[in-house]
Structure 1
Amino acid sequence: MQAVTDADFETEVLKSDKPVLVDFWAEWCGPCRQVAPILDEIQAAHGDKITFVKMNVDENPVTPAQYRVTGIPTLNVYQNGEVVKQIVGAKPKAALLNELSDFIG
């Protein structure tokens, strides 16, 4: 998954033509490491419909604070510059596919 930063968040995420799922994560977060391979699988199957990126909250504190990301992993889906879905915590693949069905269906 491509990494985004506070500096390029607006360009890569908010101005994207298609929905963007942002995985807010950190190196020390166990559940983040559990959800990463699941997101890779979903991206492989549905990457044409929704863009997947990740943001390290330790290296990029501004954006997570702006979107009130208090727990990680948090998955925010942005469409037309707005948060249209927020998923907090590690979830199994079936649950994530269900949550994202509006964007990948």
Structure 2
Amino acid sequence: MTNNWSDTTTLSTRVRNLLIALGAIAISITIFLGLQTDTPSLSLEAQAEEATSLEVALRSEKPTFLEFYANWCTSCQAMAKDIGELKQTYGDRVNFVMLNVDNDKWLPEMLQYDVSSIPHFAFLDQEGKPIASVIGEQPRSILDRNLQALAQNETLPYESKQGARSSLESAKPTPSSKSEVEPRTHGR
């Protein structure tokens, strides 16, 4: 009888081990195939690598969506998925350009588009002329409607027009007399 019980236990152990091995193989195949899918990466870094270069965009005669970003920017990272999906929708009609503000190469463009904070988005017409800009984390719906209008050469429904600015030089008060105390003299 001991021999019969030993054979049953051995058979049960073998079946259990076989089921565990088959389960492990099935899980491994599922993970492998999941990693091999053709879904594009929507990370900020991956999008920057796949973005249209500024030079190509400005010569393409298509409107351009220009994003000034940084890898450390949490708002930029938070918007990466939405912008990646919008690129899939509008990428055939609108250039998507990404310029990293940490790269000194883009300093002239940062000055040209008055980038003072990020994310900073500029919308350019087919000739590469700026139409509008928006600054900061934007809801997907706002960007979607702006990109739709940009692709159709229509007025953007959500745009931030920048008004006149005062220069620091002209804002400095001039003393009315020499006896007045100026801040830098500290009363001397």
Structure 2 unmatched ranges of 5 or more: 1-46, 153-188
**1-structure distance, mates of 2:141, 2:52:** 24
Query: Which sections of structure 1, spanning at least 5 residues, go unmatched?
Result: none
Please point out which of 61, 76, 80 is paired with 2:122. Answer: 76
- 8 Å Cα contact 1:13-1:78 kept in structure 2: no
- AA paired with 2:140? K
Shift of the 66–104 alpha-carbon distance from structure 1 to 2, 3 Å rule, reads closer
Report the equivalent of 2:141.
94
Contact 1:22/1:52 (CA < 8 Å) preserved in 2?
Answer: yes
Aligned structure 1 segments of 4 or more residues deviating by more than 4 angstroms:
none
Structure-to-structure mapping, 1:1-105, within 5 angstroms = 1=47, 2=51, 4=53, 9=54, 11-59=55-103, 60-79=106-125, 80-105=127-152
Structure 1 position 35, deviation (Å):
1.4
Higher RCO (CA-CA < 8 Å; seq separation 6+)? 1
Question: Which is higher, the Rg of structure 1 or of structure 2?
Answer: 2
Alpha-carbon offset, residue 3 of structure 1: 6.0
Q: Kindly indicate which of the two structures has a greater share of residues assigned to helix.
A: 2
Stretch deviating more after TM superposition (74-83 or 95-104) = 95-104
Paired AA for residue 147 in structure 2 = L
**TM-score using structure 1 length:** 0.83
Tell me if structure 1 keeps the 8 A contact 2:63–2:151.
no
What do residues 4-58 of structure 1 show as CA deviations (whole Å, max 9, x unaligned)? 4xxxx3x223322101111100122110111121111001011111111100011
Q: Percent identity?
A: 28
* SS of the residue 2:115 aligns to: coil
Q: Which amino acid aligns with 2:113?
A: Y
CA root-mean-square deviation: 1.6
TM-score, normalising length: structure 2: 0.49
SS at match of 1:100: helix
Give how far 1:73 is off: 0.3
Q: Where is the strand percentage greater, Structure 1 or Structure 2? A: 1
Aligned equivalents of 2:99, 2:67: Cα separation in 1: 6
**Partner SS for 1:38:** helix
Aligned length: 100
